[in-house]
Amino acid sequence: MEPETKRIEDSCFTLSALMGPQNANSQGNVHGGIIMKMVDEAGGVVAMRHARMPVVTVAVDSMTFMEPIYVGNLVLCRAELTYVGRTSMEARVEVSAESPLHGSSKITNIAYLVYVALSPEGVPVEVPRLIYETPIQQARADEAKKRQVYRLQQRNQENQ
* Rounded distance between C-alpha atoms, residue 32 and residue 22, angstroms: 13
* Rounded distance between C-alpha atoms, residue 76 and residue 83, angstroms: 22
* Rounded distance between C-alpha atoms, residue 54 and residue 82, angstroms: 19
Domains in the chain, please, with CATH?
5-158 (3.10.129.10)
**CA 71-31-33 angle, 5° bins:** 135
DSSP-derived pairing of the beta strands 129-131 and 5-7:
parallel
Tens of pLDDT, residues 58-99: 999 878 899 999 999 999 999 999 999 999 999 999 999 999
What burial class does residue 128 get, using C-beta atoms within 10 Å of its C-beta: 0-12 exposed, 13-18 middle, 19+ buried?
Answer: middle
Average model confidence (pLDDT) across the chain? 94
Tell whether the model's pLDDT for residue 3 goes beyond 80.
no
Residue 160: pLDDT band (50, 70, 90) is confident
What is the pTM (predicted TM-score) of this model? 0.93
Tell whether the model's pLDDT for residue 2 goes beyond 80.
no
Residue 1: pLDDT band (50, 70, 90) is low
Residue 118, pLDDT score = 97
Give kind and range of the element (H or E) at residue 13.
strand 13-18
Tell whether the model's pLDDT for residue 102 goes beyond 80.
yes
Instruction: Look at the alpha carbons of 35, 37, 42, 47 in this order and tell me if their dihedral is positive or negative.
Output: positive
* Rounded distance between C-alpha atoms, residue 115 and residue 88, angstroms: 6
Residue 21: pLDDT band (50, 70, 90) is very high
Average pLDDT over residues 119-132: 96
